Structure formats: C-alpha cells, structure tokens
C-alpha cells in the first residue's frame, strides 16, 4: 500500500498574511472585526470559566486580555485565541480545594486559596517558559490520541456534573461522584425562576446549530449562540427582578432570589488585581500539594495548548505553521504575567480559535483585538456584566462540557478500533475515579498492555529501529523495524523531519519490518505528510501489505500477520526475461528467479524445442494480481507466454515485502 500526499494548491508566499507591523495596518479591518465577534463569544465564557474555577469572574477577563497582548507579540501562531479554557477548570478548582476553598462559606479562606492558586499558576508559567526554551514542544507527540481525547472527555463530564446544579439554582461542592449522587435531590429542590433561565439557555445552545443554517437573511447566521443566550437570559433576569433580594412563592413553596444569582464584577479593575501568595511553597502543610499542582498546571495546560495550536494550523487557510516551542514560551510568559495580577491559566483555545478563522481573521492581531474589547467592556460597562444570570453562564459551560464528552466522540474513537475505545473509556473512568494525571497514566498503561499482547518487542517500545537508505539524489528511504508506536514516535518523527524537511529530501517510510503500527502513529504520519506537502516535498508510507487493520478506518492500528504469499510463474521466450524483471520490480517485488529451459507445444519444433526461460517471483496476493494484469498488456501480450499463480507459505515474510 502506498499513501501519497501531494500539494495541489499551496498559497503563494506573497499572498500569505503576516503578523508584523505591515500586517497590523494592512489587515486592521478584518482582524478587528473578527476580534470583536470573538469577544462576544469569549466574554460569557471567560466569566463562566472563572466562576466555575472558584476565581472571581473578572479573573477570566484578565487572562484573555493579558494573554491576547503578550502572546500576540511573542508567538507566531497567527490564528489561535489565547485565554481561559474549560479544560483547565478541573485543575484549577482542584488546586483551590486543596488549599482550603469553601465555595463562599468562608470568604477569608477562599481569598487565601485563591492567592495560593495563582502562585501555583505563576510558577507553572515559569515551568512552561523553561519547556519552551528547552524546545520541549515535541513532548505533546508522546501522548496517545485516545488518551488525550479520553482526558478531554472526562473533563467534559466533570464540567457538566458540577455545573448542572447551578443551572437549577443550587450550589455544587465536592468530588464529581458526590455531586452526581446528590444531583437528584438538588433537582427536587430546584429554584423555579433560576431553572427557567438555565433551561431556556440550554435550549438555545443546543438548538441554535440546527436553526442557524436555515436562517434568512444570512447575517443572522453570524450571531453566536452565546450572545443569543445573553440577549434572552438578561431580560429574563430583569423580569424575575434578580437585582433585588426577595422571596416569591411557587407551587406552595417559598424561594429566595437576588443578586447572588448574578455575576459580580468590580467597578474598578485596578482594585480587582490580586497578588500571589508564594508562601504556599514554604508551608509544611501546602508545599507538596503546591508542587503537585504546578506539575498539573504545566503539563495539562501545555498539552491542551499545543494540541489546540496544532489543530488550528490544519484549519489555517494559508497553511502557516506554528513554532510550538515559541508558542509554549509565549503561553508560559503570559501565564506568569496574568497569575501575577490574579488571572486564570491560559492556553490556546480551540473553540474561539475556530470562530476566529470563520470570522475572517488574517493575523495574530485578531487575538489582540479580542482582548482589547474584553478589557474595554468590563472596564467601562461593569453594570452590564452584573446583569448576567449565573445560571446562563452555567448553561454555557454545560454545553461546552457536553461537546467535550459528546456521544460522537465515543463513536469516532470506536470507528478507529475497539482497543482505542477501551483506552478512551479507561482514561475517562481513571480521571473520574482518581485525578487527571492518574487517569492519563491508566490510559497509557493500558495502551502498553495492548501493544505487548499484540507482540510488540519490549526493546522497541521506547526506541525505534530505523535504517536509512538513499534511493536517489532527491529521495531517501527509512526502513522501520520492531514497531512504530506512540512511545517511540518522537525519535522516529525527528528522523523523518531531519531527512525531509531539513535536508529537503522526499522520504519513503517503509513499515514492512514492523510488527505493529498503532493508530497514534498512523494519524501522526498522515499529519506529517501534510507538512511535507506544504513544503513542496513528498512523504510516502509503504510496506503495509502484510499488516491487518484492526478496523476499516484509515487510521486504524495495523498488525503484521502471517499471510500466504503468491508465487507467480511465467514461462516464455528467453528474450522476454529483461522486460519481466523490470515489470515485477516496478510492481514492488523484492526478488525473482530466472532459469533457462527448453520446451515445445502441440506442434513439435524441428530443432526439438524452443529456448525458454522459467521466471518466478514471490509477492503478496495484491501484487500478484497487478502482475497478471500487466502480462495481459504490451509488450507481453504479443509473446507466447504461460503464466500461473499458486499460494506458498514463507518462513520470513519481511524478506518478500518492500
């Protein structure tokens, strides 16, 4: 099998927008317009993510604004939007709780936990800066795709579980399992007015994708679902008079509503700045927890950010590539800066980044404009922000969590392979039962177990066995032995990039000698082929004829199996031998045998028989079929040939595969 990737329509260098001073002026209108539309989406999400993390609402705005300014100057990622993300909620609230967060019961304890947590975020940002300087951006390549998706789905479940009570006007504290266990009771005691706002918001969020494509005029389709939620939820909040504390009676019961169900933002942004408490790293009771959360912040934040930047690169209309090490450095610097004033951790956020592309952004300055609009809105119109009901923000987070843990995710993973679904589910269960890092470890461990069961040599789990052979002046071949799996992919990728993208060669990756090629490597090879395509080069993936796919999906894991090969035998005039040799080599045969012989047909020759050649080659069934097709075409069709195919068992299969 050969997978060939060619570049059909690369944009001309002169037409590619650049995020420099000239690009700032040239694309000001497009970038500012996209930044404004992304701001409309980002505002409620920044507020909601901040509240769900236990931070003050304005902390999320600090993150988006500072991140937009800092990273747009340091990173070369042109279309990613930096800011707080739902995927970090679980990490942040976990840190807050370990430092004594009470969820509002003790404001002094909550402030102390908040200051300790932003100290952790500041140090984690320094770790990310170090990772960027050490060029550790490639570490994201280590994590198996099913594990990463499982981690994100688990985060989605946790977000949904913890935000659903808020939709119904209740509070949610404790571990996800505890909140889920208490959810039926909370729904029995729901606050009807708040629930109406929450359910209407959920209805809009889930229904808008179905209604939006059918809207006329077309400009209505540009309205983000989050903005529509605010347009409905804010008037509902005013109708229920949430701005004033009071009681109301419904169904024979009394309920309390008031300002506690609305977003609270300070009238003075400077007064909202909060400094970190670095004594968390000195205290006997907190230093070990602080070190743990630094690892979690840096690891999970870096993985999510790099994966998002990588995904947005694939969607970039101009096929620009992000320097992952530079982007990681920029995110680290941004996290240090924003934690110093009380903000949430930031990453490259994929939902807002996709909206940025859809809204016509050209350069990284669209991210800058989105941050400027956020800062201006919160700084100049805090009264408007205060009118937003908390249940509407919770509904937005429930929708975000559902998208992370959508049933479609399970279907997509299962399509790649049943073993991928097992790893995916194991990671989810591990995260829900323990914590993020332990859950990811469980998923990776199960992946290793599947590899060993499938016969991967232990010596190749962490180190690929590669042999490089020049084919011609412009092409090299890399023969892989043992296995090509997620855990040995980083050096494998480095070799391919060095020979191809750095030394400017076309590369043939021959996987015939591998016992297993896992789904993560199949996906990453195809992504790498796109990098070659954009560079005007060629990456061919060959040698998988003897590998069985574990599913019909093109990215499925491939396992080498014992196959019956085919012996193709041709008898004909000795003059045809040279053409036969050339033909079977073109079709991928690794060798042949040619033996002179004599023979005759029904009409005996005068000289006792003709001078013939008996030609044999052993190939796969697929190749044997192609050889027979070639024998039916010139120059062979004009010759008197006898050809047949018979199955054979071979001792060392790899000797007969390209």
Strand ranges inside 121-223, DSSP E: none
What are 547-566's pLDDT values in tens digits? 889 999 999 999 987 666 88
Does domain 458-559 fall under CATH 3.30.750.24? My reply is yes
Q: Rounded to an integer, what distance in angstroms lies between the CA atom of residue 448 and that of residue 459?
A: 13
Q: At 516, which helix (H) or strand (E)? A: strand 506-517
Tokens read off for 509 = 């990756």
Which residues, 6 or more positions from 220, have their beta carbon under 8 angstroms from its beta carbon?
Answer: 212
Write the burial class of residue 503 (CB in 10 Å: 0-12 exposed, 13-18 middle, 19+ buried).
exposed
**pLDDT score for 435:** 81
Give mean pLDDT, residues 239-255.
92
Indicate if the pLDDT at residue 657 is higher than 70. Answer: no
Query: For position 178, what pLDDT does the model report?
Result: 85
Chain length of the chain: 658
Buried b (16+ CB within 10 A) or exposed e, 1-14: eeeebeeeeeeeee
Question: Could you give the CA distance from residue 151 to residue 497 in angstroms, rounded to a whole number?
Answer: 29
Section 594-612 average pLDDT: 74
Structure tokens, 658? 């390209």
Whether residue 642 is predicted with pLDDT greater than 50 in this model: the reply is: yes
Residues 328, 651: Cα–Cα separation, whole Å:
50
* pLDDT at residue 439 greater than cutoff 50: yes
What's the pLDDT tens digit per position in 269-280? 888 999 999 999
Question: 341: pLDDT confidence band, cut at 50, 70 and 90?
Answer: very high
Question: Which tokens go with 127?
Answer: 């770790």
Question: Which of 8-22, 430-444, 553-567 is least confident?
Answer: 8-22
Tell me: the pLDDT tens digits for 564-592? 688 999 998 888 899 999 999 888 888 89
Q: What percent of the chain has pLDDT over 70?
A: 94
> Rounded distance, CA 425 to CA 420, Å?
9
Q: What is the band of 9 on the pLDDT scale with cuts at 50, 70, 90?
A: very low
Architecture of domain 565-656: 2-Layer Sandwich (3.30)
Residues of the chain with CATH 3.30.750.24: 458-559
Is the bond preceding 217 in cis, omega lying within 30 degrees of 0?
yes
Quote the pTM value: 0.79
The Cα–Cα gap between 363 and 23 comes to 7
Residue 639 has pLDDT above 90, yes or no: no
Domain with CATH 3.30.70.120 in the chain: 565-656
- Three-state DSSP class for 23? helix
Q: What is the pLDDT of residue 553?
A: 94
Query: What local confidence, expressed as pLDDT, does residue 658 receive?
Result: 57
Q: Which of these ranges, 20-34, 90-104, 197-211, 605-619, has the smallest mean pLDDT?
A: 605-619
Query: Are residues 81 and 349 in contact, defined by beta-carbon separation less than 8 angstroms?
Result: yes
Are the CB atoms for 34 and 366 separated by under 8 Å? yes
The segment with the largest mean pLDDT, out of 1-15, 134-148, 233-247, is 233-247
Element (H, E) at 647: strand 642-648
Q: Which segment of 222-226, 296-300, 464-468 scores lowest on mean pLDDT? A: 222-226
619-643 burial code (b ≥16 CB/10 A, e <16) = bbeebbebbeebbeeeebeeeebeb
CA quadruple 615, 618, 624, 627: dihedral positive or negative? negative
Comparing 8-12, 486-490, 522-526, 584-588, which segment has the lowest mean pLDDT?
8-12
DSSP string, 286-310: THHHHHHHHHHHHHHHHHHHHHHHH
Assess contact for 256 and 247: CB atoms under 8 A: yes
- Separation CA 217–CA 221 (nearest Å): 8
Mean pLDDT on 606-623:
81
């Amino acid at each position: 099998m050969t997978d060939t990737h060619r570049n059909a329509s690369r944009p001309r260098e002169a037409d590619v927008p650049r995020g420099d001073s000239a690009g700032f002026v040239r694309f000001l209108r497009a970038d500012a317009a996209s930044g404004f539309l992304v701001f409309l989406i980002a505002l409620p999400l920044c507020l909601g993510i901040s509240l769900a993390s236990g931070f003050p609402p304005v902390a999320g705005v600090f993150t988006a604004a500072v991140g937009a300014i800092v990273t747009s100057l340091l990173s070369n990622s042109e279309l990613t939007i930096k800011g707080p993300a739902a995927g970090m909620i679980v990490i942040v609230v976990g840190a807050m709780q370990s430092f004594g967060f009470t969820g509002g019961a003790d404001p002094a304890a909550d402030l102390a936990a908040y200051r300790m947590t932003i100290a952790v975020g500041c140090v984690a940002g320094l770790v990310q800066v170090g990772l960027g300087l050490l060029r550790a951006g490639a570490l994201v390549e280590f994590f198996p795709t099913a594990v990463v998706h499982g981690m994100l789905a688990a985060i989605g479940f946790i977000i949904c579980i913890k935000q659903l009570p808020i939709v119904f006007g209740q509070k949610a504290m404790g571990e996800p399992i505890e909140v889920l266990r208490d959810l039926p009771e909370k729904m029995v005691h729901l606050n009807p007015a708040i629930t109406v706002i929450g359910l209407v918001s959920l209805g809009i969020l889930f229904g808008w994708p179905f209604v939006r494509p059918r809207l006329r005029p077309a400009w209505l389709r540009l309205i983000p679902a989050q903005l529509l939620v605010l347009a409905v939820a804010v008037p509902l909040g005013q109708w229920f008079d949430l701005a004033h504390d009071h009681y109301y009676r419904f169904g024979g019961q009394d309920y309390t509503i008031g300002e506690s169900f609305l977003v609270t933002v300070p009238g003075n942004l400077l007064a909202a700045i909060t400094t970190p408490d670095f004594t968390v790293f000195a205290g006997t009771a907190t230093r070990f927890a602080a070190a743990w959360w630094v690892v979690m912040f840096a690891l999970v934040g870096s993985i999510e950010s790099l994966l998002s930047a990588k995904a947005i690169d694939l969607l970039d209309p101009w096929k620009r590539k992000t320097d992952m090490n530079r982007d990681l450095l920029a995110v680290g610097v941004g996290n240090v800066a924003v934690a110093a004033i009380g903000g949430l951790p930031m990453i490259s956020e994929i939902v807002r980044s996709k909206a940025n592309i859809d809204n016509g952004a050209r350069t990284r300055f669209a991210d800058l404009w989105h941050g400027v609009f956020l800062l201006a809105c919160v700084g100049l119109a805090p009264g408007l922000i205060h009118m937003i009901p908390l249940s509407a923000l919770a509904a937005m987070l429930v929708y975000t969590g559902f998208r992370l843990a959508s049933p479609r995710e399970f279907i997509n993973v299962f399509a790649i392979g049943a073993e991928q679904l097992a790893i995916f589910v194991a990671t989810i269960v591990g995260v829900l039962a323990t914590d993020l890092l332990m859950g990811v470890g469980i998923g990776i461990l199960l992946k290793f177990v599947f590899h060993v069961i499938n016969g991967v040599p232990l010596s190749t789990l962490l180190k690929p066995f590669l042999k490089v052979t020049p084919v011609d002046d412009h092409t090299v071949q890399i023969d892989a032995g043992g296995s090509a799996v997620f855990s040995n992919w980083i050096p494998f990728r480095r070799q391919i990039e060095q020979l191809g993208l750095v030394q400017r060669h076309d590369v043939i990756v021959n996987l015939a000698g591998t016992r297993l090629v896992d789904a993560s490597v199949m996906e990453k090879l195809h992504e790498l082929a796109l990098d070659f395509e954009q560079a005007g080069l060629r990456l061919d993936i060959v040698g998988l004829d003897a590998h069985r796919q574990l599913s019909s999906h093109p990215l499925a894991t491939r396992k080498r199996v014992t196959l019956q090969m085919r012996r193709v035998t041709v008898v004909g005039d000795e003059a045809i031998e040279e053409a036969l040799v050339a033909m079977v080599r073109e079709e991928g045969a690794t060798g042949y045998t040619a033996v002179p012989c004599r023979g005759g047909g029904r009409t005996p020759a005068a000289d006792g028989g003709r001078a013939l050649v008996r030609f044999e080659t052993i190939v796969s069934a697929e190749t044997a079929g192609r050889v027979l097709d070639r024998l039916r075409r010139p120059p062979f069709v004009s010759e008197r040939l006898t050809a047949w195919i018979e199955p054979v068992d071979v001792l060392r299969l790899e000797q007969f595969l390209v």
